[in-house]
Structure 1
Amino acid sequence: MQISSPHTPLYPLFLSLEGRACLVAGLGGVGQRKLAGLLACGPASVLVLDILRKEDLSAEAAALLADSRTRFESRACTPADIQGRALAFAATGSTVENARIAAMCREANVLCNCASAPRSGAFSVPAVARQDGLAAALSTGGASPALARRWRRELEDWLAPRARVARLMGRLRPLVLALRAETGQNAELFRRVASSPLQHWLAEGDLQSCRQWLLAELPPVLHVHIAELLDDLP
């Protein structure tokens, strides 16, 4: 039997938080995970609220608050706290309080993640697998966070060899564009790289095959860069 969902699909995106101000309300286990994820993405500041006093927080919470970008206050969230925030996380232990924070965020047009009722907020946080600069996000639409965590670990293994060729492409792309060749010519070269066996060879540590392929396919003027393109990739 097919089970249909009444929910509108979520819109996936990768959001830059560099230099932005964020809010985390609640610093239990869920709030700590949200705060750690935020701090890894370069925000300018994070206001952290919890009804507990700072000295009563866990050692893990205290370690996160040692980051100079955080400001902790022992109180409930107010509408003024939400103004100007790029993101807000309602992660208190109270379903009622989280719903109140989510409602204030909707009123202020601030994106909110509501831990106790994801559909009450504006976004959910997917399981994210990362390898170097490569990231893959996975969501089950709230059906099973446990499955999302399991598949995230599988995605990390899947991404590992692909991260190497992505890093190579990240080094190669600006060198190719600096030659100022015709756009179609550049696109064709990038397509050849993407469809080449480079990913397989890098996974196997076969740099000799990589060098031979790059010598055959790259413009001669770029041959002097092949060593740096392959440096530290296997």
Structure 2
Amino acid sequence: MQTFPLFMSLQGRRVLVVGGTEAAARKVELLLSAGAQVTLIADTVVGEIAQLIDEARISWAGRAFYNEDLAGVSLVVVASDDESLQARVSLAAQSRCLPVNVVDRPKLSSFIMPAIVDRAPITIAISTGGAAPALARRLRAEIERAMPAAIGRLARFAEVFRAQVRRTLEQPRARRRFWDRVFEGRIGEMALAGDEIGARRELIRLLDGARTEAPTVGMVHLVGAGPGDPDLLTMKAHRLLQRADVVVYDRLVSTEVLAMTRRDAERIYVGKRRGNHSLPQDEINARLVALACAGKSVVRLKGGDPFVFGRGGEEIEALAHAGIAVEVVPGVTAALGCAASAGIPLTHRDHAQTCVFVTGHRKEGTLDLDWPMLARPRQTVVIYMGVEALPTIASQLVAHGLPASTPVALIENGTTDRERRVVGTLATIERQAMRIRLEGPTLCLVGEVVGLALAQSGGPQSAESKDSEFQFESRVGL
């Protein structure tokens, strides 16, 4: 975050606005709606500002700004076109540790006035950190269209029962589940529709039942996190991340996807770095069982898809043996996401009629794959976790019949802003990978389709080209 979002109470507090422009009028209207007592400093005023003064909604000092005007105020807004005045007021306010906003001058501001969706008591603020106010306004319009106009009524309804629910349900998890049932079910619909009497009756009945509910065993969801881009999460995966009590994740889950979890959810990292599994699989299984037995809703977040080299089958087996309910939520596997991001077709009518997924992860120091099958022509081979075994993979594919000039692509942190790509051949890729020092999750693609992507984009096509010509970083097109 470039700026930290806060909601500040201005009820009955003095706010100073400097400038008599139309922009000042818009800011004053917002401040008045928040209950502020506004004092305006401006030599002259126009339009709406003049009307606000005539209606005695704000006080006006028709003169220049003095530093003494800052005494006793809680907030300062500068809406003047005078650049020297903007700088002077900003410096004076910040020297007194007063929050100050200079309209359209983020570098002179200590806070940003966001675009606001007002559904009192619900307030949604959107900010681009001053980079693109027009975009913030567009986002506000989209949210306003999507949000029911009466959503504030639902918040006020819940406020009436908040203390009673807290007294009745001592555990935060129980309260959270209770309110989820209220907002997502019939009670919430009745409150939104204005049937407050009926909604109160149903809520009291639900609360009485929740008081005597026996503790239940939790559930585990094996959720595919996709290749890294949070926009590739399924809607169901996002919904479960927002509801989970605990999220168990490993290195293959991107920070962007992990950020989609509910803020107060417990996060448990279970390691699994390449060649250094900080937590053995048996212990991960046991941890999942223990969390569910404690009554928690658990999301086991796995990179890509849980059933594509993700050992999801082993975790389901352990959970089923312990009598724990489990659900699998598919994700976009790395092969599909990374290939699409790099513009590499996994199949092509003229070049690859078959696509094979294999793992390059060594077990007990060996890599036992069906090399003759993998070296067949007119197919694409996608190798997960293959960087460490790259020398073996390249040499074995060549030894079993693939030309040394066969194109190869390595895609690190695919689909994210940290994506890096290295494209070469079976003869050169090992040396190139050593030079680049790939550290993140990396996918290896072998086949004519890699060269096809190069040819279509005008990139290097010759297998004899220098290594440096094959290196493409930071999500540039192949």
Q: Please, what TM-score do these two structures have when normalized by structure 1?
A: 0.75
Q: 1:215 to 1:175 in 2, by over 3 A?
A: closer
- Compare CA radii of gyration and give the structure with the larger one: 2
- Give the total of aligned pairs: 206
How is 1:1-234 mapped onto 2 (pairs within 5 angstroms)?
9-43=2-36, 45-52=37-44, 57-68=45-56, 70-160=58-148, 162-177=151-166, 180-184=167-171, 186=175, 188-196=177-185, 198-199=187-188, 214=203, 216-219=205-208
Percentage of matched positions with identical amino acids: 30
More divergent stretch after superposition (199-208 vs 154-163): 199-208
CA 1:124/1:211 → structure 2, altered by over 3 Å: closer, same or farther? closer
1:134–1:159: 8 Å Cα contact kept in structure 2? no
Q: Could you say what the CA RMSD is over the residues aligned between the two structures, in angstroms?
A: 2.9
- Residues 49 and 215 of structure 1: is their aligned pair in 2 closer, same or farther, counting only changes over 3 Å? closer
Contact 1:95 1:116 in 2 (8 A): no
The one-letter code sitting in structure 2 at the alignment partner of 1:48 is L
8 A contact 1:98–1:116 mirrored in 2: no
Q: 1:26-70: CA deviations, max 9, x gaps? A: 021111111111111112x32201121xxxx33411221245452
Q: Report the equivalent of 2:394.
A: none
Q: Aligned equivalents of 2:59 and 2:111: distance in 1?
A: 24
Contact 2:41 2:64 in 1 (8 A): yes
- AA paired with 2:170? T
Partners of 2:165 and 2:143 in 1: CA distance: 30
User: Which string of whole-angstrom CA distances, capped at 9 and with x for unpartnered residues, describes residues 147-189 of structure 1?
Assistant: 2112112212333264343232122224445xx4352265553
- Contiguous gaps of at least 5 residues in structure 2: 210-478
The structure with more strand, counted as a fraction of residues: 2
Q: Partner of 1:218: helix, strand, or coil?
A: helix
Change (3 A) 1:95 1:38: same
Amino acid at match of 2:4: Y
Q: Which amino acid aligns with 1:129?
A: V
Deviations 1:63-82 (A, max 9, x none): 21245452211222111001
Q: Is the contact between residue 39 and residue 60 of structure 2 (CA under 8 Å) also seen in structure 1?
A: yes
Structure holding more helix per residue:
1
- In 1, the alpha carbon distance for the partners of 2:102 and 2:19 equals 11
Contact 1:46/1:71 (<8 A) preserved: yes
Provide the residue aligned with 1:225 in structure 2: none
Indicate how the Cα distance of structure 1 residues 204 and 34 shifts in structure 2: closer, same or farther if over 3 A, else same. closer
Instruction: Give the letter for the 2:110 counterpart.
Output: A
CA distance in 1, matches of 2:189, 2:113: 32
**Contact 1:25–1:89, Cα closer than 8 Å, also in 2:** yes
Preserved contact between residue 157 and residue 196 of structure 2 (Cα < 8 Å)? no
- Does the CA contact (< 8 Å) of 2:43 and 2:63 recur in 1? yes
Q: For residues 77 and 132 of structure 1, what CA distance do their matches in structure 2 show?
A: 34
CA contact (8 A) 1:164 1:199 kept: no
